[in-house]
Amino acid sequence: MRENKSERIRIKDIALKAGVSVGTVDRVIHGRSGVSESSKKKVEEILKQMNYQPNMYASALASNKKYNFSCLLPLHTQEDYWMDIEAGMRHAVGMYKDFNIRLNISYYDQYESGSFAKEGKKMIATMPDGVIMAPSSEDETMSTVLQLKEKNIPFVFIDSNIRSLNPLSFYGQSSHSSGYFAARILSLMAEHNEPVVIFRLIYDGRLGSNQQRNREEGFREYIQNNCPDIKLYELNFYVKNPENNDKIMEDFFLAHPEVNCGITFNSKAYIIGEYMQKINRKGFKMMGYDLLRRNVKCLKEGTVDFIIAQQPTEQGQSCIECLFEHLILKKEIKAYNYMPITLISKENIDFYLDAHLRTNNI
């Protein structure tokens, strides 16, 4: 039989060894006053000898301190990837409810220049103990980060990372690798090297997010290296003109009836799935990102074949845990934490969702 023991070193034993009272040991451990220098030194030596690990839970509970965490996310709708991130954060706050953690979430408009900095400033004015942010561009994010550093407030990046801004930690997916993996799956779907169309979401003349751009780069790299004969088309939708989407697809498929396989690197695969449903076109092979409710519906109805999930609930939960471990348990924190790249089809989605509900204790 192998054994895993987790015995605690008792305060009583330390007091005995140091020849002081239990109260004195307790004061030294929790850094309270009322202890002579010589007693303090003696106790600290014994603690070191015995490799004493303070019971951080007990210390934190005893301290009764309140912690304010703040979070800054892009504005989003109710039915969104970001909702799952919030749910994960709320779940973690609930798990630690005995430790007096309070979470404030505020939002910035990712399409409005200056919005991140404005909301960041408001957030910092509340003097939070720790911060979680989904960064905007490096320029937009910089001023907020400088203020946080000046005030010594630890911050964690979620969803996408800007290494040069040196966060305490990062939780999210590697978008480049995720696109690379998507290409491996799509190349299996595209039999006989048939052509593939990339559906893109454009805002102000450019791709609407860094994630989209990085995933597409990773995707193209795989195709280039492994199946360069696959012809890639691009089809652009415009964030500001969703009413034109159907017409855009109609025109494209009229001009390219041979294209029977597509992918999108944003979270709106349902635009294509719902269109195929509407025109009753069967068998168009489609892949996308993120388990939005409308994407899940398409997946189950068969108009979207595969979705890559990026564990938003875990991202949210992990960021809170990270601040908890850093601020309260004083643990060392790992800087980069990449989420698994998870392939979902209608055959395995229920188990993925089941695990998520479990995480959220629903």
Binding positions for a second copy, rule: CB under 8 A: 1-8, 53, 55-58, 61, 89-90, 93-94, 96-106, 173-174, 177-178, 180-181, 184-185, 188-189, 191-192, 222, 334, 337-343, 345, 347-348, 350-352, 354-355, 358
Nearer to a second copy, 122 or 278 (CB): 122
Count of CB atoms situated within 10 Å of the CB of 285: 17
**Strand ranges, E, within 220-328:** 232-238, 261-264, 285-289, 306-309
Pair of tokens at residue 168: 């305490």
- What is the distance of C-alpha 232 from the center of its chain? 30
Whole-angstrom distance, CA of residue 287 vs CA of residue 276: 13
Closest CB 42 distance from a second copy, rounded Å: 25
Nearer to a second copy, 48 or 358 (CB): 358
Nearer to a second copy, 96 or 203 (CB): 96
> Could you tell me which of 111, 112, 91 has the C-alpha nearest to residue 103?
91
Closest CB 171 distance from a second copy, rounded Å: 10
Pair of tokens at residue 344: 């979902």
Nearer to a second copy, 248 or 343 (CB): 343
Burial class (CB in 10 A: 0-12, 13-18, 19+), 136: buried
Closest CB 206 distance from a second copy, rounded Å: 27
Nearer to a second copy, 230 or 235 (CB): 230
Q: What is the DSSP letter of 7?
A: P
Pair of tokens at residue 294: 């409308």
Q: What is the DSSP letter of 33?
A: S
Closest CB 2 distance from a second copy, rounded Å: 5
Closest CB 125 distance from a second copy, rounded Å: 12
Closest CB 204 distance from a second copy, rounded Å: 28
Place of tokens 């390219």: 256
Nearer to a second copy, 12 or 149 (CB): 12
Q: How far is CA 134 from CA 41, 160, 228, 274, 316, in A?
A: 45, 7, 35, 29, 11
Whole-angstrom distance, CA of residue 57 vs CA of residue 98: 10
Closest CB 278 distance from a second copy, rounded Å: 25
Nearer to a second copy, 85 or 271 (CB): 85
The sign of the torsion formed by the CA atoms of 188, 193, 194, 197 equals: positive
Closest CB 212 distance from a second copy, rounded Å: 19
Nearer to a second copy, 3 or 204 (CB): 3
Closest CB 74 distance from a second copy, rounded Å: 15
At residue 315, the 3 state secondary structure works out as helix
Nearer to a second copy, 141 or 169 (CB): 169
Whole-angstrom distance, CA of residue 228 vs CA of residue 245: 29
Give the DSSP H or E segment for 281: none
